[in-house]
Amino acid sequence: MTITDITAKNRAAWDASAQHHGQGAYWDELVAGFADPTYSRFDQTMTTALQVSDIKGARAVQIGCNNGREVLSACALGAAEVWGIDQSAAFLSQATTLCDLSDHNAHFLEADIYDLPDECPRDFDVAFITIGVLNWMPDLRHFFTAVAGLLRPGGQLVIYETHPVLEMYEPTARDPHRPEHSYFRTDAFVENVAITYDGTDQGSAPESHWFIHTLGTIVQGALDARLALTQLQEFPHNIREVDYDIYEGQYAQTPMSFLMRATKA
């Protein structure tokens, strides 16, 4: 399957899953929150990373922005203008709803990161990527080339993601602490279930493709795109679905998340 085939399948899976996210207690929290211009969904780690990367007054872009909660959060941290790129029209519709509740200077672009349209700016000061984006990418080398292409020279990339070692575990397995998958697996995980963040079963959805990328592959992908690393930090805290909370606070602690910052040459 080509990159285009895989991203098209993932787009259909995300679009079909959007209906499960635009309602309920969490959605109501976002709706109430974004009426306040200082409201942010970033934790302290990401807030500090963006501040160190000079988010205040910057023109920023988020790749894989989903419902726009973090685009709007970056605005709340003082960015002058923030763009969110995502290929799911259904999630961008939720992003527009949330944005309309605020006065933030946010823009949403429906596009596949592997096939950005000409009208997409290529001179951002800051680009950021968070939880659950890298694993949807069938090819990291092309992905980082596209991401680097969004930045001006000297522009900064911030990634705050799930640690790939966590992909070895299945929290719902009989023994969730025994590794189930090779860290070096290259075949996609192909699933037909609706994509949720709270571990609930919301039935079926079109086929989606999820990949493990090792930390080495991620770092090398960035270096190959002429992004110079300025920070790489691993953490023992969970930033993904709540059913992974069981891996926190262990004596033999697995890494659970990481922060990477890099600058475009």
* Binding-site string for ligand SAM from residue 72 to residue 91, where x marks contact by CB under 6 A and - marks none: -------------xxxx--x
Tell me the closest approach of the beta carbon of residue 46 to ligand SAM, in angstroms: 9
Q: What separation in angstroms does the CA of 234 have from each of 128, 167, 184, 206?
A: 17, 15, 19, 33
**Strand extents, DSSP E, the chain:** 59-63, 81-86, 106-110, 124-130, 151-162, 189-193, 204-210, 227-235, 257-264
Contact 157, 151 (CB under 8 A): yes
Judged by CB under 6 A, the stretch of 42-50, 66-74, 150-158, 207-215 that binds ligand SAM is: 66-74
Q: Rank residues 64 and 221 by Cβ distance to ligand SAM and give the closer one.
A: 64
* 208 lies in the binding site for ligand SAM (CB under 6 A): no
Residues 95-124 within binding reach of ligand SAM (CB under 6 A): 112-114
Judged by CB under 6 A, the stretch of 127-135, 147-155, 173-181, 206-214 that binds ligand SAM is: 127-135
* 130 lies in the binding site for ligand SAM (CB under 6 A): yes
Helix, strand or coil for residue 235? strand
The 10 Å Cβ neighbour count of residue 57 is 10
Q: Pick from 72, 77, 79, 133: which binds ligand SAM (CB under 6 A)?
A: 133
Tell me the closest approach of the beta carbon of residue 109 to ligand SAM, in angstroms: 9
**Cα atoms in the Cβ-side hemisphere of radius 13 Å centred on 111:** 20
Contact 84, 108 (CB under 8 A): yes
* Binding-site string for ligand SAM from residue 5 to residue 24, where x marks contact by CB under 6 A and - marks none: --x--x---x----------
Q: Which amino acid is at 121?
A: P
Q: Rank residues 97 and 179 by Cβ distance to ligand SAM and give the closer one.
A: 97
Q: Rank residues 114 and 247 by Cβ distance to ligand SAM and give the closer one.
A: 114
Which value, in Å, is the radius of gyration of the alpha carbons in the chain?
Answer: 18
* 132 lies in the binding site for ligand SAM (CB under 6 A): yes
Contact 109, 83 (CB under 8 A): yes
CA 239 – CA 144 distance, rounded (Å): 22
Q: Which residues bind ligand SAM (CB under 6 A)?
A: 7, 10, 14, 64, 66, 69-70, 85-88, 91, 112-114, 130-133, 136
